[in-house]
Each structure stands twice: as structure tokens, then as C-alpha cells.
Amino acid sequence: MNIERSSGVLLHITSLPGQYGTGTLGNEAFRFVDWLTEARQHIWQILPLGHTGYGDSPYQCYSAFAGNPMLIDLDLLVNQGFLPRENLPMGIPFPNDFIDFQTVNHVKWPLLKKAASHFLHHAQGDIRKQYNNFCDQEANWLYDYSLFMAVKEKNELRPWWEWPAEQKMRHHGTIEQLWNDLNVPAELYRIIQFFFYTQWQAVKKYANDRAIKIIGDIPLYIAHDSADAWCNPSIFQFDDERNPVGVAGVPPDYFSETGQLWGNPLYNWDNLRQTGFRWWIDRVKANLTLYDILRIDHFRGLAAYWAVPFGEPTAVKGQWINAPGKEMLDAIRNELGELNLIAEDLGVITPDVEFLRDSNNLPGMKILQFAFDSADDNDFRPHTYTSNCIVYTGTHDNDTTLGWYKSAGEADLQSMRDYFEPNESEIHWAFIRLAWSSVSNIAIAPAQDVLGLDTECRMNLPGKPSGYWRWRVLPGQLTSWHAQRLAKLTKVFGR
């Protein structure tokens, strides 16, 4: 990937301020772009934008292609005439500092369906033409997703493997009957996706027009309960009853003594190879319309993946199995050209992973919080970097820098002091300065570190199935003072 020296901020859309319980693609998204511009930043990194399912994690979505309806801005729908202003949820005391996902979903879904129904019956002219074009352009995933969600709703939101057998197994006559019975509910889901894509593209254009690139995140695996798994069982390791043979995870590591058991279905790489990796090519192509740069989460799984027998309580009893990542990346490049990809190469990294990353000229990731482990030498210290990498003070999976500092052992803190003698009264700015001063082409700080926030504001704790992803910026919390201070560092270090 060829990108000029730059820097930016990691902040997911849900974490933006907003009056209806969660960040959206409305005014606050544009306001954040303005703040980035004032701060002289040229990167905005976000988490996956998918339609979240179990645990509200953006890494467990109902589709690898569909956007999250909860990110749709209701005020914009009112301004377009698709939702009456009196329907806006004005009297609900949503918290400002975290997301109550259950309440947001409960309040927002009926309003989105109401707006979609109004669109279905009344939209005409250019907007109707745009919608029809959207359905044509996204047909390879949109219709499968819309039927999946309509059938899921009919089955009281149960996962697809608990549906009646003829629906679970997608019997031909049953699918035809479902299309007949659920035509209108399925179309409402397609309209809601049109709302999402239209709003997101407006935000992305606003950012791009200000020389800000969007880094998006593509999870390596898809959720078991997803349109992808239900509609494309042949590309996953399922038995004859559509049960997983093995599931994804990682072995014991820095984050967990028993590993992480994610439970996602594993790919049937032989079948994918026979199709020329078509599903993956379509997926990357779709994501490159959403983002400027793609970070492949758990990149090491393209070299070899940790396969855990289905039903195991932890990830300990897994095994490494080789994956044809080089073949797949070659196939994607042959069709789509050179790609702006980032390899999330954290965890157990072996020579085959390094070869796959380096032979494709993909930047890897460096995490400053990992640099000061006093127990061993490591390649997270800035003097070991090459320019073709991305340095982070921390990621969405780490504690905040202030939280890390408060919980670090004395030996690790001494290792940090020996390395760069930071101003410990502002440890977050010391880490940002160290990242910005490095030779890495890109430097990123989570918004929590720009603000100097503590552990209670961390985005995620790996291995915990629920209770995270909830943090939000308070209205006005990211100030001009923060922007100017970040801008000064960015100028000093030529980003």
C-alpha cells in the first residue's frame, strides 16, 4: 500500500454524540470531520459498519455487506419527508455517555420501518430511480439479506439453525413461498439499506473532499447467524445438517489464558478456491465502496487459522490449519487491481504470516502499549519500525492509554521511562507524541487517548461476549483545544 505520511483518529460512528441514544450518520458525523480538519488529520478510522447481531459487536453481523440500520440518522429522514417530525423520540432520556443498545433498537426499528413504508408507497422521481439503481448494483447480496432478515423476523429473531427444517435447509419450494409471503417486509429491509448507504456515502464524500481518508475494518470471519452463512453454506465448514464442523478462535495469548472462542463458522477453502474466491472478491469490492483503506482483522487467519471442534467450551483444544491466503489475495488483486489493505498482524505471528504480509506489501500494526513489556524484547518499540507500518497508541481492543498506565506493573513502567522519559502527568499525550514522531507512514490514536480518558471508557475487552462497544463522546467533549494540540504535533512531525 502506498500512502503518504499522515495521522488520524480512531472513533466508531456509534461513539459520536447524538440525541437519540447512539451516534449516527447525521450532523455529528459531519461535525467530527470538521474537527479532524481543524486538527490537521487525514485519517478517520472506524470499526465495521455492519448490521450488528449478538452482543451488539460490530464484529458479529447479520451480513458481511449490509450496513447497521441503527446508524441511520432520523433527522435526515424527517428532512427528506419520509418520517413525520412528531414521531422523533424526543421524550426518552437516552444516556449521553454510553449506548443502551436494547432501548435504541426498541425505539428506532419501528421508526425506520415507518419511514421505509412511506418510501415504498410514496417515493417517486429521482429518489425512486436512485433506489432502483441501488437494488440493481447491490443485487448479489441485498436480496439474500433482505429475505434473511424478513424470515428471521417471522421466526421471532431466532438464529437460522433454529428455524423450521425446510427454511433452515433452504428447500427450493420453501424459498419461493417465503418470497411470496414476505415480499413487502423484505423490501422494507432493502429500503432501510438504501437509507444507510445514501447517508454513509454523503459522510464519506464530505471527508474525502477535505482530504480525509476512511479506514474501515473487515472482520475475517462472518457471524454464524448471518445471511452469508444461511445463503452460502457451501463456502463454510458445515456438515449435512448445516451444523459447524469447527469454529474460529485464537489460542491462549496475551488477552486470555484459555484463548478466545469466537464461534464463527470456518471457511471451506477448497470450495472457495473452486469458485475463484468469488465471494471474497465481491466482499472486498463492496467494502472498497464504503472505505478508502481496508484493515483486514485477524489477518493471520489467511495464512493459517485456529480451528476448534464445534462444542468445545474453550479455544484451548484447537489446531492450526493452513489457509490459501496468497491465492486469494492474488485473485482479488487480479480482478480489482492494487489494494489499499492493512494487515492486522497482532497475536501469534509466525514467518508464514510475515511472508504473506510482506510479499503483498501490506503494512502491519504496531501498538505502543505492547512496547514496554519488560519481560522480553519486542518489535513494538519505535526504533524497530519501518515506514510501511501503522502505529497506534492503542486499539479498540486495548485499555485506554491512561488505563494501561494506571494498571501497568512497575517493571513495565520503568521500561517505558528508560525508553523515552515521558511526561507522566499527561501520559496519553506522551504516547501520541511518540507515535507521531515515529517513522510509521500512519499514526493513529483512539479518541479516548486524545481526551485522556480512563479504563471505564475502553471500547472492548476481548473474550467478553457482551457489555462493551457502548462508550460515547459527550457533546462538545472534543474541543478546539484538543484539535489545536493535535494539529501542532502533526505539523512538528510532518504528518
Mean pLDDT to the nearest integer, 298-319: 95
What are the structural domain ranges in the chain?
A: 232-362
Could you give the percent of the chain with pLDDT greater than 70? Answer: 99
Which helix (H) or strand (E) segment is 417 a member of? helix 410-420
Alpha carbon distance 218, 296 (integer Å): 5
User: Could you read off the pLDDT of 378-413 as tens digits, one per residue?
Assistant: 889 999 999 999 999 999 999 999 999 999 999 999
Which helix (H) or strand (E) segment is 486 a member of? helix 480-492
Among 382, 2, 45, smallest CA distance to 207 is for: 45
Tell me the β-bridge partners of 247.
265, 308
Quick check: 243 pLDDT over 80? yes
User: Could you read off the pLDDT of 435-450 as tens digits, one per residue?
Assistant: 999 999 999 999 999 9
Quick check: 260 pLDDT over 90? no
Q: Quick one: cell of 421? A: 522519559
Quick check: 474 pLDDT over 90? yes
If one compares 316 and 462, the residue with the highest pLDDT of the two is: 316
Would you say 208 and 1 are in contact if contact means Cβ atoms under 8 Å apart?
A: no
Quick check: 377 pLDDT over 90? no
pLDDT of residue 188: 98
Among 281, 280, 286, 30, smallest CA distance to 134 is for: 286
Q: What are phi and psi of 139, to 5 degrees?
A: -60, -30
Active site residue 344: yes
pLDDT of residue 348: 76
Question: pLDDT grade, residue 252 (50/70/90)?
Answer: confident
Max CA separation in the chain (angstroms): 70
Active site residue 176: no
Mean pLDDT to the nearest integer, 86-105: 94
Quick check: 282 pLDDT over 80? yes
Mean pLDDT to the nearest integer, 197-210: 98
Question: pLDDT grade, residue 374 (50/70/90)?
Answer: confident
Identity of residue 146? S
Which helix (H) or strand (E) segment is 27 a member of? helix 27-38
pLDDT of residue 101: 95
Q: Which residues contact 141 (CB under 8 A, 6 or more apart)?
A: 63, 64, 65, 66, 227, 282, 286
Among 1-5, 360-364, 440-444, which stretch is predicted with the lowest mean pLDDT?
Answer: 1-5
Quick check: 254 pLDDT over 80? no
Which helix (H) or strand (E) segment is 38 a member of? helix 27-38
Quick check: 367 pLDDT over 90? yes
Catalytic residue among 187, 344, 412, 449: 344
| Residue written as grid cell 452460502 | 232
Quick check: 103 pLDDT over 80? yes
pLDDT of residue 378: 85
Classify residue 234 as exposed, middle or buried by CB count within 10 Å of its CB (0-12, 13-18, 19+). exposed
Alpha carbon distance 33, 40 (integer Å): 11
pLDDT of residue 3: 80
Helical H runs in 123-216?
125-137, 139-154, 165-168, 172-181, 183-208
Catalytic residue among 217, 228, 297, 345: 297
Question: pLDDT grade, residue 95 (50/70/90)?
Answer: very high
The string of DSSP letters for 89-121 reads -TT----SSB--HHHHHHHHHHHHHHHHHHHHH
Alpha carbon distance 495, 490 (integer Å): 5
The string of DSSP letters for 241-303 reads TS-BSEEEEE-S-SS-TT-EEEEEEPB-HHHHHHTTSHHHHHHHHHHHHH-SEEEETTGGGGT
Catalytic residue among 100, 253, 327, 397: 397
pLDDT of residue 462: 82
pLDDT of residue 15: 98
Mean pLDDT to the nearest integer, 139-160: 97
The reported pTM is 0.96
Tell me what the pLDDT averaged over the chain comes to: 96
Would you say 391 and 438 are in contact if contact means Cβ atoms under 8 Å apart?
A: yes
Mean pLDDT to the nearest integer, 421-427: 97
Give the Å distances, CA to CA, from 41 to 24, 146, 180, 207, 297.
21, 37, 50, 11, 23
Active site residue 397: yes
Alpha carbon distance 72, 60 (integer Å): 19
Question: pLDDT grade, residue 364 (50/70/90)?
Answer: very high
Would you say 257 and 305 are in contact if contact means Cβ atoms under 8 Å apart?
A: no
Quick check: 464 pLDDT over 80? no
Mean pLDDT to the nearest integer, 196-219: 98
